[in-house]
Amino acid sequence: MVVIRPGPVTVGGVALDNHLLLAAGVLGTTGASLARMLQLGAGGVVTKSIGPEPKDGHHGPCVAVLDDGLLNAMGLPNPSKDFIEELEPVAKKPVIASIFGGTPAEFARVARWFLDRVSGFELNLSCPHAEGYGAAIGTDPARVEACTRAVSTLGMPTWVKLTPNVTDITAIGKAAERGGASAIVAINTVKAMRISTGLQRPVLGNRYGGLSGSMIFPVAVRCVYELYEACKIPIIGCGGIATADNVVEMMMAGASAVEIGSAVRDDITIFETIKKDLYAKKGIPPEEIIGCAHA
């Protein structure tokens, strides 16, 4: 297996301890859990998405555990501005605030609460099951550009997380780039559903949800590969990454770093495990493998 040289890394304006970040939505709702993931080897952490008003989320069932994946429709549950106090234990650490809003002004309002308390923002323009938020606006290049600009002009690193549930992800990536994004995160979950044959009803309370885990890894690799050919800003790969070889594959597709979500739910020691397999002092400089699969 290809191994890479260890060391601190800066991606999309954010200094990270290594190439592996905790993805939004998993163990990111409290300061204590974010701090724990950093202690357990994450090079940076992304919070649960925070929005303009507190939200309870969708009614249950909200999660279904599948073979090789998870189906969720949490419905953006979050405490809104009160989340500020959760950032105390991780002050000065590589923490990215995932934020959402329904308009550029809402994105800017939420971002302002966390200015100077985080290392950067990740704009959630990609949740597949949130009326008026996430992919509902993240599939429209003009709205992606405007929401990105509303936050990037505040002067902090601004990452934009994209939905794979579009015909052409590069059009959305280019819109984020025009809006001043410092990096693109690809991908959020894949819109999906399961039906209980026993109950003759959808498994999730919201009927539709987002699929994550190993089964979406090939979709994520394809999206990163396409974005690398279309955009100049760095790409952070996300979606089903569970091994060091998955990280290397994502980098070869064009990712400068990766986010790990579902695999952390299965094994909270995953960051240390991957780091042991991924890094060696005599490994290849990461720059030499990022995007190397492109002709």
Does residue 96 belong to the site contacting ligand RRO (CB under 6 A)? Answer: no
Does residue 72 belong to the site contacting ligand RRO (CB under 6 A)? Answer: yes
C-alpha span between 133 and 135 (Å, rounded): 6
Q: How far is the CB of 122 from ligand RRO (least distance, A)?
A: 10
Q: Which of 14, 42, 73, 184 binds ligand RRO (CB under 6 A)?
A: 73
Residue in the shown chain whose Cβ atom is closest to ligand RRO: 210
The yes-or-no answer on residue 231 being catalytic is no
Residues touching ligand RRO, count (CB under 6 A) = 14
Does residue 246 belong to the site contacting ligand RRO (CB under 6 A)? Answer: no
Does residue 290 belong to the site contacting ligand RRO (CB under 6 A)? Answer: no
CB nearer to ligand RRO: give 161 or 275: 161
Q: Which of 76, 146, 183, 252 binds ligand RRO (CB under 6 A)?
A: 76
Enclosing H/E stretch for 196: strand 195-196
| Piece of 69-77, 87-95, 173-181, 258-266 that binds ligand RRO (CB under 6 A) | 69-77
Name residues contacting ligand RRO, limited to 209-238 (CB under 6 A): 210
Does residue 182 belong to the site contacting ligand RRO (CB under 6 A)? Answer: no
Q: Is 195 helix (H, G, I), strand (E, B) or coil?
A: strand
Amino acid type, 201:
R
Nearest to 252 by CA among 231, 283, 218, 221: 221
- Who's near 71: CB < 8 A, 6+ residues apart? 63, 64, 192, 193, 194, 203, 204, 209, 210, 211
Does residue 188 belong to the site contacting ligand RRO (CB under 6 A)? Answer: yes
How far apart are the two ends of the chain, measured CA to CA in Å?
A: 21
Backbone angles phi, psi at 45, to 5 degrees: -135, 145
| Piece of 26-34, 66-74, 195-203, 213-221 that binds ligand RRO (CB under 6 A) | 66-74
Q: How far is the CB of 49 from ligand RRO (least distance, A)?
A: 4
Strands 63-66 and 69-72: antiparallel
| Piece of 29-37, 71-79, 173-181, 223-231 that binds ligand RRO (CB under 6 A) | 71-79
Query: Any idea what the Cα angle at residue 116 is, between residues 110 and 119, rounded to 5°?
Result: 90
Q: Which of 33, 47, 49, 152 binds ligand RRO (CB under 6 A)?
A: 49
Enclosing H/E stretch for 270: helix 270-278
Enclosing H/E stretch for 173: helix 169-178
Neighbour tally for 273: CB within 10 Å: 15
- Which candidate in 62, 127, 147, 223 is catalytic? 127
Catalytic residue IDs: 127
Q: Which residues bind ligand RRO (CB under 6 A)?
A: 25, 49, 72-76, 124, 126-127, 134, 188-189, 210
